Amino acid sequence: MTETEIAALLRFFKALAHESRLRLLGFLAQRARTVQELASLLGLTEPTTSHHLGLLRNAGLVTLRVEGNLHWYDFEPSELAPLAKSVLSRQNVAHWAGQARAEKPDRLIQNYLESDGRLRLIPASRKKRYPVLAWLAAHFDLDRRYREPEVNQILQTRYWDSATLRRELVGYRMLTREKGIYWRLPEEQWVRMDK
């Protein structure tokens, strides 16, 4: 086994040898996320989060897609991390996330909220609409079924046009519907940000 292969192996194991990074991978295995969202989920600052993401990227465990100002990281092991490709399934890794930190909504969402916490408007650009819809989806329990009036009622606490929100949520597969009954889908089934 060559010098560089050992070095790659070492980078790989070192990347996984810290709780913050396991949790980061967990959240990324659920769906692609931006740095500030991850920082808020973990309760760390953005520079620290950025540092950890750099290590994960170096180990070939995550990818980065830059979209304007936003950096979308995703759990996507490369050939650099053959062990990861064969062993770490998205499903399993998603469980490493653990408890998210007290979810004060991140700045991006805050910008679209009134002081009373209601939505000012639905962001026009796809890349800003996505996190806002994700935040709305979190208003629903994963294991509960809802009838349409209930869905509307919940959404109306956040925005006057509940019908549009409902349609958008279904479009992104954050909610789904069958025979008039709605329920929330787990994040790994959402239409991915980057697709």
Partner DNA sequence: CATCTAATTAGAAATGTGTCTAATTAGCTG
Partner DNA sequence: CAGCTAATTAGACACATTTCTAATTAGATG
Closest to a copy of itself by CB, 29 vs 70, is 29
Q: From its phi and psi, is residue 35 left (phi > 0), alpha (psi between -120 and 50) or beta?
A: alpha
- Backbone φ and ψ of 173, nearest 5°: 60, 30
Smallest gap, in angstroms, from Cβ of residue 177 to DNA? 31
Residues 13-42 within binding reach of DNA (CB under 7 A): 14, 17-18, 20-21, 34-37
What is the nearest approach in angstroms of DNA to the Cβ of residue 20?
4
Beta strands in 53-163 (DSSP E): 62-67, 70-75, 145-147
58: contact with DNA by CB under 7 A: no
Segment near a copy of itself (CB under 8 A); pick from 80-88, 103-111, 118-126, 165-173: 80-88
Work out how close the CB of 38 gets to DNA at its nearest, in angstroms, rounded to a whole number: 8
Amino acid at 191: V
125 binding a copy of itself? (CB under 8 A): no
Q: How far is CA 111 from the centre of its chain?
A: 19
User: Which residue's CB is nearer to DNA, number 10 or number 181?
Assistant: 10
- Considering only 41, 59, 61, 70, the residue that binds DNA (CB under 7 A) is 70
Residue 4: CB atoms within 10 A of its CB come to: 8
**Site for a copy of itself, residues 12 to 71, rule: CB under 8 A:** 13-14, 16-19, 22
H/E run at residue 167: helix 162-171
CA torsion sign for 125, 134, 173, 76 is positive
92 near DNA, judged by CB under 7 A: no
Regarding 98 and contact with a copy of itself (CB under 8 A), the answer is: yes
Buried b or exposed e, range 27-41, using 16+ CB within 10 angstroms? bbbbbbbbbbbbbbb
Q: List interacting residues with a copy of itself (CB under 8 A).
A: 1, 6, 9-10, 13-14, 16-19, 22, 83, 86-87, 95-96, 98
